[in-house]
Amino acid sequence: MKNILLYISRLFVGSILIVSGVVKANDAVGFSYKLHDYFTEGVLGMEFLQPYTVMMAVFICVIEIALGAALVFGLKAKLTTTLNLLMMVFFTFLTFYSAYFNKVTDCGCFGDALKLTPWESFTKDVVLLFFSVILFVYRKQIFPNKLFEDLKYILPSILFIILFSVGVIGWWFPVIFAILIYGLKFIIKRFDKNQWRLLSVSVIASLVFIFYTYNHLPIEDFRPYKVSANIIEGMEVAPDALPEITEYSWKFKVNGEEKIYVTKGSYPEVNGDFIGVDTKIIQEAEAPKIHDFTIEGENDDTQLYLSKENVLVVVAYDFSKSSNEGFKVVKKATDEALAKGYTVLGLTAESKEKRVAKKEEYQLGFDFYFCDGTTLKTIVRANPGVFEMDSATIKQKLHWKDLDQLKL
């Protein structure tokens, strides 16, 4: 029984860590934004860590993938089970704190691919913590898999990753990534059984993947501004959206005794004297996927530009953090777009004075408009980045480093 529980724990925790790590590594920049939210004054109050959120995001992604693969292969059991337990304790505390005090509504555990409520995130972490404790307690019974014992762990792990990644998230890449690192470890192990070198396979593969997505864009976009999405449709509440549900607690005095009658809104038929009513929202109304997208100049020109065809939009949420080289590339691309009859505009969260100064600095042929900074960071993970829309439908989205691939 103990051996079966240990076997299941290795497979379950290892596979979940790989999926979680790959999903976050696909958008390490977006994960760093989530960490930034946790460190704000109103949450953990650790603003001194905010400048390091990108490095922390990369580290967490790499450590999750490396630990996941190590558990499946039984590598460095004492180290991996200890690190895994510490990580699970930390995240369980973090998600409980967030849920109990309603601080951060989305933990970012699986990026934008799978949204979990704070209490769902906490429940998930409690389950993982349970299996992580088992791994730690029985860590002395975890040894590197023997040569052909690997298949006993690899195949079920891949099956589990398929069920979770494809069945729940709807994305095949974590499966492909897992097969790649499992395959490399399996082959290398035939010639070199050094555990540190086998561990390094996962680390190197993770870093290569993160380096690519960081310097370009996520290979899979789970946000409401993905290519082919229509911004106007995203602003509308879905027909099957959950409505707001409010609970009313009516207080009456009946036969000299105070009684409370709970309804979903209707006034209760009670033979007594009404005292008062308390309301409590037990289900928030489901908001539209897009709710803060604006194009504001002297006036609100959002609908004007959403109705146009062939619109090229430059996004730079914060000029102080934007790439100077990037704006030189943007200048060239937007000049070409203007020459071909495109409508070109910029979106930023900066003040009017800074918008005008940026246009003059690079002699840009378009004006910048205001849009919420969080929205801009959601639209494109680049600063600056570019997207093309046609009647509010996004046709292309590019990092400034890839603007040579812009099709006009």
50-109: per-residue pLDDT in tens?
888 999 999 999 999 999 999 999 999 999 999 999 999 988 988 887 777 776 666 667
Report the percentage of the chain scoring pLDDT > 70: 97
Rounded Cα gap, residues 294 and 275, in angstroms: 45
Residue with the larger pLDDT of the pair 213 and 115: 213
Question: Mean pLDDT over residues 276-296, rounded?
Answer: 83
Rounded Cα gap, residues 374 and 394, in angstroms: 19
238 pLDDT band (50/70/90 cuts)? Answer: confident
Tell me the Cα Rg of the chain.
26
Q: Please, are residues 145 and 152 in contact by the beta-carbon 8 Å criterion?
A: yes
pLDDT at 114 over 80: no
- State the burial class of residue 264 (Cβ atoms within 10 Å of its Cβ: 0-12, 13-18, 19+): exposed
Question: Mean pLDDT over residues 285-291, rounded?
Answer: 80
Report how far apart, in Å, the C-alpha atoms of 233 and of each of 118, 229, 290, 304 are: 27, 8, 9, 15
Note the pLDDT tens digit of each residue in 13-30.
999 999 999 999 999 999
Beta strands in 179-301 (DSSP E): 245-254, 257-263, 273-283
Residue type for position 211? F
